[in-house]
Structures are given as C-alpha cells and as structure tokens.
C-alpha cells in the first residue's frame, strides 16, 4: 500500500513535457484510428489529460498543438502534482488541496465514481452487525464505498467475507494517521468475526524510495509490531511481507501474473501516470497489490476457494489500484473486491499539508513521549481561533479548519462531548489553548497505551502472525 510521493512534473523541462504531450496526442489518435480496445483508448486519454495538467503547472500556459512553450515560461513550484484551476489532486503518491478544510470529498466521489456512505448504509451496517457503528462511520471519516451493500446482502444470507488492508513500510516509526485504517479494520474484524490479511509492501518501497532491500524488510518487521499492537486476533489475522510471501506462495504469484496479463501498458500509464523513465518494477507492482483481493491467493486460509468476497478498508488515494483490480477480476473469474474509503488524516500544520515521516513536527508519532505530544500540539497544531482572546470570545473560532478539533473527531469516542466542544469553540466559550489541552489529554494516554502494548510484541509474536497458516474460521 502506497503512502509516498512519486516523481512529479517538476523533474521535467517545459520542452520535455511539450514533446511528451505531443507524442501522447499522437498515440491517442493512432489508437482511435486503429479502433483499439475501449479500455486502451480511455487509459491513453487519461494520461493525456494528466500531462496537460502537469504542463500547465510547470509553464503556467495551456497546451496548444504546434505551439512550443515560450522561452519566458517559468517553472512554478506548486508542490507535488498540484492540480489546475484549484482542483484537488489525489493519487496513490500525491495529495494536495488549496482548501483549509481539506480535500472536497463529495467532488472526489464523483470523480472516482464511487458511492457515498449515507445514513441509510450506516444504519444498515448497525442492523446487520448488531453493533453501534464505529465513530469513523458515524462521523464520515469513512465516507465512500464500492459494493458494501452487496457484501451485507451476502452476509445476511450467511455468506461470509474477508478483510484486506495494508501498509507501505518506509520508516521505523508510524504516526497516528497510519493507525486509522487499522483501528477501523480491527472493529470490522471484531464485529463480523472474519479473517484478515495485511499486506506489507516492502517491495514497493524499495522500488519507489532510496532504500536498501534490507532496510525495507527491517521496517516491515518494525511496522508489523505497531500493527499487532492494535489488538488484532492472531487466530484470524495473517500479516505478510511481499518480499517473503510472493516467493513462497505459487498461488499468490499465479494471480499476480493473471492480473499482469490483463492490464496493458497504456492502461497502467493512464491510471498511475508512469513515464518512460520509471523502472519496470513500478509498472509491474500494481498487480502485486491487486492479488490479495482474491481469496485463492491464500490457499492456507481459504482452502483454494476463489469465490470468497474481499472487503478492503483503505484511504481514498489507494482507489486507483482497486479500480484496476475490479476491472480485471471478472475477466479472470473472480468476484470484484468491495471497498470502504477513508478521508485523509491532516498534518499538524493544516489540512492542505501532507504529513511526512521525515518531518517530525508534521504529526504525532507512536514513539512520542507525553511531553513531545504536548509540545507538538501547542507549537504546531494549526488553529482556527482568532488572533486575540477578545476577538475569539466575540466572534468564536472555526472548528472546520482547526487541526486540534479535526484530530478529536478521529480519536474522541463520545459524540455528545465532541459536539459540545464544537459548539463551545465556534461560540468563543472555548479558547484555542483549552481546545489544544483537550486534544493533548486525549492523545497522551492513547499513545502511551499503544507503546505499552507494543513492548509486549516479541520477535516470536511477529513470526507467528507472519507465518502462512490456517486461520480460525470455517467457510
């Protein structure tokens, strides 16, 4: 699962981009003339549109056929994959927005063609599971889905499903944002009593980052300890490293090859924006992230069955991988995976900013001490309050852009308490310093408790979770 920044248009000169655009335009015309497959044409058009956005970002001009960029065009540093006309940019490597409230998720649903998780679906999940919906569902943190109603239809007919999520291990320490999919996945596992597979994409991090294979694998083991500390049931959970499992599982590799055969280079360029200078490992990787969506990739768990439905909780930026997977699945005889998409966890500096594992002040890390948590929140958490106490008391603060309030929506369980904090802050009754104090008091025991649980995770425990084996479940 990716969580890194890819190579952006900033590495190319305006003329490089112009020539690439011209060439891609020719490719689109050739495909249409030759009446190529619809999927190939659509993928080529998508890449053409992406290149036009990159061109405008770099040159400040719209692309025009036969009109090379003017020599006075200056490269604009708009950050990674900044989108044209104020549009949010969201892909597996880049997330950027100009809005202090963060990405416009309603627009993203339309762009990606997914479905909104509405109150009706939340109510149905409660009804089918017999449990109160998780706060992430109640508050719209998981906000979008693909085929969740189909999963519930089958579950009501006593047809079970399994969960698949993952992590790209690019550093030893995780930050609190990395916990979001795991907190929710644990709730789903406990609520529906189902098996879970967790993919650690150490191969991907080696391909994308300037890291050695040994470092990537070491990060995998360290990240696995934090994931295990979330409380997953060892009898229902299999965690695997791509570097270890793919070579040891012929069934998994067979599914990788099936996916690779059914996705063209044009399609993968259109979906992911790969260029001619990207290594071939990157181009082949999406099939590896697709393979866990199919139950017969894990014969030790599902006894060779290929029809067990998969549900994938993940951040919305991972959706391109699984749009590709869902397109391929019926062509190779498998059910399409269903998805639940989460919003992005904001950096301390504000929702426009992407958290970075290399910037210690951009988030709260799971290794932070109570004192570090307090200092980070007080010094770096973006405030929606007014400049003076008098103004704040009179006009109130804006909880929609205040990072401390945003973090509380993720981690404070009590809905009524959260709503009271919102109202008090918006009215001016609650000051920014008091709001930050509430967040500090919420985070400190949560992180300390996680650290204590992680200390109990031994190398032997990790080995048990990562050993291919039958899981305690009967299908």
361 in a structural domain: no
163 in a structural domain: yes
Q: What is the pLDDT of residues 184-230, one digit of tens each?
A: 999 999 999 999 999 999 999 999 999 999 999 999 999 999 999 99
Are residue 173 and residue 258 in the same domain, yes or no? yes
**Per-position DSSP letters for 422-456, written without gaps between them:** HHHHHHTSS-HHHHHHHHHHHHHHHHHHHHHHHHT
End-to-end CA distance of the chain: 27
295 in a structural domain: yes
Residue 83: band (very low, low, confident or very high) from pLDDT cuts 50, 70, 90: very low
Q: What are phi and psi of 365, to 5 degrees?
A: -95, 155
Q: How many domains does the chain have?
A: 3
Are residue 31 and residue 151 in the same domain, yes or no? no
Are residue 35 and residue 156 in the same domain, yes or no? no
Are residue 345 and residue 388 in the same domain, yes or no? no
Q: What are phi and psi of 350, to 5 degrees?
A: 135, 165
The answer to whether 38 and 30 have CB atoms below 8 angstroms apart is no
The answer to whether 287 and 263 have CB atoms below 8 angstroms apart is yes
Parent domain of 33 = 15-59
C-alpha to C-alpha distance for 45 and 435, rounded to whole angstroms? 48
Between helices 432-455 and 415-427, what is the axis angle to 10°?
150
250 in a structural domain: yes
Question: What's the pLDDT at 353?
Answer: 64
Q: Is 22 exposed, middle or buried (0-12, 13-18, 19+ CB in 10 A)?
A: middle
C-alpha to C-alpha distance for 243 and 209, rounded to whole angstroms? 15
Q: What is the mean pLDDT of residues 245-256?
A: 97
Residue with tokens 């109603």: 149
Q: Which of 125-134, 201-210, 307-316, 342-351 is predicted with the least confidence, judged by mean pLDDT?
A: 342-351
Are residue 345 and residue 376 in the same domain, yes or no? no
302 in a structural domain: yes
Q: What is the pLDDT of residues 14-59, one digit of tens each?
A: 777 878 888 888 888 888 888 888 888 888 888 888 888 877 777 7
Question: What's the pLDDT at 389?
Answer: 93
Are residue 333 and residue 387 in the same domain, yes or no? no
222 in a structural domain: yes
- How many CB atoms within 10 Å of residue 337? 22
Are residue 108 and residue 219 in the same domain, yes or no? yes
Q: Do you know the residue count of the chain?
A: 475
Are residue 301 and residue 218 in the same domain, yes or no? yes
Q: What is the pLDDT of residues 348-376, one digit of tens each?
A: 998 776 666 667 788 999 999 999 999 99
311 in a structural domain: yes
- How many CB atoms within 10 Å of residue 221? 17
Could you tell me which residues come within 8 angstroms of residue 455 by beta carbon, excluding any fewer than 6 positions away?
none
Question: What's the pLDDT at 22?
Answer: 83
Are residue 345 and residue 384 in the same domain, yes or no? no
DSSP β-bridge partners for residue 90:
95
In this prediction the pTM is: 0.81
467 in a structural domain: no
Are residue 340 and residue 403 in the same domain, yes or no? no
CATH number at residue 54: 1.10.287
Are residue 387 and residue 299 in the same domain, yes or no? no
CATH number at residue 434: 1.10.240.10
Residue 152: band (very low, low, confident or very high) from pLDDT cuts 50, 70, 90: very high
Are residue 332 and residue 380 in the same domain, yes or no? no
- How many CB atoms within 10 Å of residue 445? 10
C-alpha to C-alpha distance for 16 and 74, rounded to whole angstroms? 14
CATH number at residue 214: 3.40.50.620
């Amino acid at each position: 699962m990716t969580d890194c920044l890819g190579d952006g248009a900033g590495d190319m000169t305006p003329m490089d981009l112009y020539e690439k655009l011209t060439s891609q335009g020719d490719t689109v015309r050739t495909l249409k003339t030759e009446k190529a497959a619809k999927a190939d044409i659509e993928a080529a058009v998508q890449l053409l549109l992406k290149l036009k956005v990159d061109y405008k970002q770099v040159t400040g001009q719209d692309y025009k056929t036969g009109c090379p960029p003017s020599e006075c065009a200056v490269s604009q540093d708009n950050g990674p994959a900044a989108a044209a006309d104020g549009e949010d940019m969201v892909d597996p490597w880049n997330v950027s927005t100009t809005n202090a409230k963060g990405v416009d998720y309603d627009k993203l649903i339309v762009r990606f063609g997914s479905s909104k998780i509405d109150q009706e679906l939340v109510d149905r999940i409660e009804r089918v599971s017999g449990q109160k919906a998780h706060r992430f569902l109640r508050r719209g943190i998981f906000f979008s889905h693909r085929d969740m109603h189909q999963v519930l239809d089958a579950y009501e007919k006593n047809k079970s499903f399994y969960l698949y999520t993952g992590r790209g291990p690019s550093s030893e320490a995780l930050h609190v944002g990395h916990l979001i999919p795991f907190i929710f996945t644990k709730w789903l596992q406990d609520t529906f009593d189902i098996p879970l597979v967790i993919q650690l994409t150490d191969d991907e991090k080696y391909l994308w980052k300037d890291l050695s294979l040994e470092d990537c694998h070491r990060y995998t083991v360290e990240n696995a300890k934090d994931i295990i500390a979330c409380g997953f049931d060892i009898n229902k959970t299999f965690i695997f490293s791509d570097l270890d499992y793919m070579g040891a599982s012929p069934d998994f590799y067979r599914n990788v090859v099936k996916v690779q055969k059914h996705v063209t280079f044009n399609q993968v360029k259109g979906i992911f924006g790969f260029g001619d200078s990207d290594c071939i490992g990157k181009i082949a990787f999406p099939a590896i992230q697709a393979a866990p969506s199919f139950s017969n990739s894990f014969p030790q768990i599902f006894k060779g069955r290929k029809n067990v439905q998969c549900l994938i909780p993940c951040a919305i930026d991972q959706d391109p991988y699984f749009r590709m997977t869902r397109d391929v699945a019926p062509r190779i005889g498998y059910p399409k995976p269903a998805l639940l998409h989460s919003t992005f966890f904001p950096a301390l500096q504000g929702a426009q900013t992407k958290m970075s594992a290399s910037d210690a002040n951009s988030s709260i890390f799971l290794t932070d001490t109570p004192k570090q948590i307090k200092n980070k929140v007080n010094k770096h958490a973006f405030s929606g309050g007014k400049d003076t106490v008098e103004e704040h008391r009179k006009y109130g603060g804006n909880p929609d852009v205040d990072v401390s309030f945003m973090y509380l929506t993720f981690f404070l369980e009590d809905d009524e308490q959260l709503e009271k904090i919102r109202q008090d802050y918006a009215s001016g009754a609650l000051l920014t310093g008091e709001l930050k104090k509430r967040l500090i008091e919420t985070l400190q025991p949560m992180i300390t408790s996680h650290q204590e649980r992680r200390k109990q995770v031994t190398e032997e425990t990790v080995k048990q979770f990562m050993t291919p084996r039958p899981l305690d479940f009967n299908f």
